[in-house]
Structures are given as structure tokens and as C-alpha cells.
């Protein structure tokens, strides 16, 4: 009996944290920030947020106003923010890196230096390669040989800021802010460990950009895949249609048995909060029984939204953008459910729709719904190509507002 107490205590704490998170996400941004900072254990509360929810919470509050939360965040949450914010498709965007690294440095300078050296050293050296020029003074060399643009902290390593590359012009941060961040970072790095400071500057000058960026992209892909963001080549598969017959031949998906305790990992809550209740999918989700499988299906829905984000090449920085993705997912899921209604049914009922959600992966139901939309599109195009008004070279506006809608 005593051996079970730690597990129960742990579950009770996780349940309490989950309740706090849901309450916080329902608050206006300013109140959410105040609520977190006033908690008896704010660090534990912040760490309990899934990385995707934390990222959106930072944007809801405003990155500059959310510095106290960034200071409390875990290394994994920092990694996720940088992974999402610093890239344009498969390329590192210099201005975005500067902005977010500057925010993290301001949030917690000492920890940022440690994190940079232990977690993201290759990334930092790649960034420095594109932003500074480093020269080493010989013992008999006059410092004036380097010119007025160079500065030094030790009379050995001289640094000059490079001009912004053309692709970074008009980006997320200005030239003055970039120079200020680089100065602060270099000074903090030298204060932390001067030998490490010298090694980082020296290694930054010998970076092979293409190889380093490719390796950083590979590791970013791995980290994001752990959070439900698959590589683009895999994500685009959601737009490969599937037929009801092919879906019926598939084996049921694996779900936890009734009575088996579910995972302690928190389900990202923000996509679910944007879920419209009065949709076929929303009503089916509310009818799920047994209730133990609901977190699994909620995880599936979150991962489906993430897959759509990757396939569509989106970067979600606000709830309005996320709401568009959620609405799209619900729409195609609803069409997929409707295609599986029983013969003679006018519309699939919520109980039967819930059983479909339990049996079939949501990604396949999305593909089924997308296939239905494609079929309607092809039918319309076929009709259009053989219609008399198209043969007469009339435009669609010929039908007027009443027929066009």
C-alpha cells in the first residue's frame, strides 16, 4: 500500500499542474503572465507546459513582455522556440536568430552562455561566422594594422562586425540591435571563460557553412519530429487521398485498453482550445467512450495539426494562425466522417462517428475527407470543360450573385 503512494502523489501533482495550465491558457495574456509569476512554484508550472503551448503563450503575451517566462523556461523549451523562430524553411535566418538569441540573453545572461556552449555551440559558431570577422594579432604586430572597425577585449583577438547580408535587410531586428547583441554576447562569453571565448572565436572563423547548416537542419528536424512536426517529405503525405474501401481494409489502430492508466505526458492544449465544438469532429470527440482513449485521440489531433503546419509551410506565431489550421483539420475530418456513414443515413450520428475515431487514425480520415474534396473539384472541372457557357467564352461572373453565391 505504501509503495503506491509516490505514484499517486505524482499523478495528483501532474493533474493539479494540468488544471493550472488550462486555467492560465483561458486567461487574457497579461493575467496569464501574472498568474504564472504569482504561483508558489512558477518554474515547475512553466516547465509543465508542452513546448508548443509555451511557444504560443510567449507570442500571446509578447516576446519582449514574456522575458520572465523565458528565464524560467527549460532548455527543451528554449530549443523549441529557437528551432521554430530561427529558420525560413531549410535556411537559418540571421535576423530572426539575432532577435531570439538577444531575448534569451536578456532573460538570463549566465544561463544563456552555458546553454549556448553546451547545447547549441555549432549553431552559435555558424551565426558568428556570418556576423563577425576575427583576426589574431601577432606579438610584434601593431594593432593599428587592423583598422578602426576592429575592437578587442584581450589585445590578442580582434573582432569586426560584418555588414548584414542582403537577405537579412529589413528582417526581424535592426543593425544597431544586432551590434548591441553581438557586443553583449562576446563580453559575457569572455567573462564566463576566457579560453573558451578564444576557442569559440577561432572555431567560428573555420566553420564550413553548408555542412554546418545542413547538420543543424538535420538535428532541428529530429527535435521537431519528437514533438509531432514530421519532415516535409513525410508531412505532405496527408494530401494523398485514400478511398473508403482502402480505409476499411486497414487494421484498427492501437489504443490503450479500458482500465489501463494513460500516459502522464501533458497533451498540448492550445489546438484543442481552438477546436469548434459544433462540427462533426467536435461532436464525435465529445462522444468518445471509453474516456481513457480520449487523450490519445487528442494527441492525434494535435499531431495532425502539426503535420498540416509543416505540409503547408506555415510558422504559427499566434492563435489566429493556429485557428485556421484547426478549422482546416476539422473540415476535412468532418468530410471524412461523412463518407463513412451507413447506407441510408442522412448524416453520420455522433456515436458512430466516435467509433470511427477510435478505429481509424485521424490522418487517414483527413486524407479521406481531402479525397472527397478533390473528387468534387474534378467533377466541377469536368462539368465546366463541357458546359455551354464555357464554350461560349463566358466568365463565371456571367451567373451573377444569385447563382455564384
pLDDT, position 270: 86
Question: pTM to 2 decimals?
Answer: 0.88
Question: What distance, in Å, lies between the first and last C-alpha atoms of the chain?
Answer: 67
Alpha-carbon gap, residue 375 to 63, rounded angstroms: 44
Residue 185 CB neighbours (<10 A): 23
Q: How many residues does the chain have?
A: 405
Of 35, 117, 42, nearest in space to 72 by CA = 42
Cell of 177: 540591435
b/e map 395-404, b = 16+ CB within 10 Å? eeeeeeeeee
Q: For the chain, which residues make up each domain, given as ranges?
A: 2-226, 232-404
Which parts of the chain register pLDDT below 70? 1-6, 165-172, 256-265, 401, 403-405
Residue 76 CB neighbours (<10 A): 16
Is the separation of the CB atoms in 156 and 130 below 8 Å?
no
Alpha-carbon gap, residue 264 to 83, rounded angstroms: 25
Sheet holding 157-161, edge to edge: 132-136, 157-161, 151-152
Going by C-beta distance under 8 Å and a sequence separation of 6 or more, which residues neighbour residue 359?
252, 253
Cell of 245: 474501401
pLDDT, position 165: 60
CB hemisphere CA count around 320 (13 angstroms)? 0
Q: To the nearest 5 percent, what fractions of the chain are helix, strand and coil?
A: 65, 5, 30
Going by C-beta distance under 8 Å and a sequence separation of 6 or more, which residues neighbour residue 326?
271, 274, 275, 276, 305
Of 31, 87, 89, nearest in space to 60 by CA = 31
Amino acid at each position: 500500500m505504501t509503495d503506491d503512494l509516490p505514484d499517486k502523489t505524482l499523478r495528483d501533482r501532474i493533474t493539479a499542474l494540468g488544471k493550472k495550465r488550462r486555467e492560465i491558457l483561458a486567461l487574457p495574456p497579461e493575467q496569464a503572465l501574472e498568474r504564472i509569476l504569482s504561483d508558489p512554484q512558477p518554474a515547475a508550472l512553466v516547465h509543465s507546459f508542452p513546448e508548443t503551448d509555451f511557444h504560443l503563450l510567449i507570442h500571446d503575451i509578447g516576446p519582449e513582455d514574456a522575458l520572465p517566462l523565458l528565464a524560467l523556461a527549460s532548455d527543451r523549451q528554449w530549443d523549441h522556440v529557437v528551432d521554430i523562430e530561427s529558420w525560413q524553411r531549410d535556411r537559418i535566418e540571421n535576423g530572426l536568430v539575432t532577435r531570439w538569441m538577444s531575448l534569451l540573453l536578456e532573460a538570463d545572461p549566465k544561463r544563456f552562455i552555458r546553454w549556448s556552449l553546451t547545447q547549441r555551440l555549432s549553431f552559435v559558431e555558424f551565426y558568428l561566422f556570418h556576423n563577425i570577422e576575427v583576426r589574431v594579432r601577432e606579438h610584434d604586430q601593431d594593432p593599428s594594422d587592423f583598422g578602426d572597425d576592429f575592437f578587442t577585449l584581450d589585445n590578442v583577438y580582434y573582432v569586426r562586425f560584418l555588414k548584414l547580408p542582403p537577405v537579412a535587410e529589413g528582417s526581424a531586428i535592426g543593425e544597431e540591435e544586432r551590434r548591441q547583441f553581438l557586443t553583449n554576447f562576446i563580453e559575457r562569453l569572455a567573462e564566463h571563460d576566457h579560453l573558451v571565448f578564444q576557442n569559440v572565436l577561432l572555431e567560428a572563423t573555420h566553420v564550413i557553412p553548408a555542412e554546418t547548416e545542413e547538420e543543424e537542419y538535420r538535428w532541428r528536424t529530429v527535435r521537431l519530429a519528437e514533438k509531432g512536426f514530421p519532415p516535409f517529405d513525410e508531412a505532405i503525405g496527408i494530401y494523398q487521398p485514400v478511398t473508403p474501401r482502402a480505409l476499411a481494409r486497414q487494421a484498427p489502430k492501437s489504443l490503450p485498453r479500458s482500465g489501463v492508466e494513460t500516459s502522464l505526458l501533458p497533451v498540448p492544449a492550445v489546438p484543442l482550445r481552438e477546436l469548434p465544438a459544433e462540427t462533426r469532429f467536435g461532436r464525435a470527440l465529445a462522444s468518445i467512450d471509453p474516456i481513457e482513449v480520449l487523450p490519445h485521440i487528442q494527441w492525434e489531433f494535435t499531431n495532425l495539426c502539426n503535420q498540416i503546419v509543416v505540409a503547408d509551410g506555415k510558422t504559427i506565431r499566434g492563435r489566429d494562425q493556429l485557428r485556421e489550421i484547426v478549422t482546416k483539420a476539422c473540415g476535412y475530418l468532418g468530410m471524412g466522417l461523412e463518407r463513412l456513414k451507413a447506407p441510408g443515413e442522412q448524416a453520420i450520428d455522433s456515436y458512430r462517428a466516435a467509433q470511427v475515431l477510435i478505429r481509424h487514425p485521424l490522418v487517414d480520415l483527413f486524407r479521406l475527407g481531402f479525397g472527397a474534396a478533390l473528387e468534387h473539384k474534378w467533377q466541377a472541372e469536368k462539368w465546366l470543360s463541357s458546359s455551354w457557357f464555357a464554350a461560349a467564352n463566358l466568365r463565371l461572373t456571367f451567373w451573377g450573385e444569385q447563382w455564384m453565391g
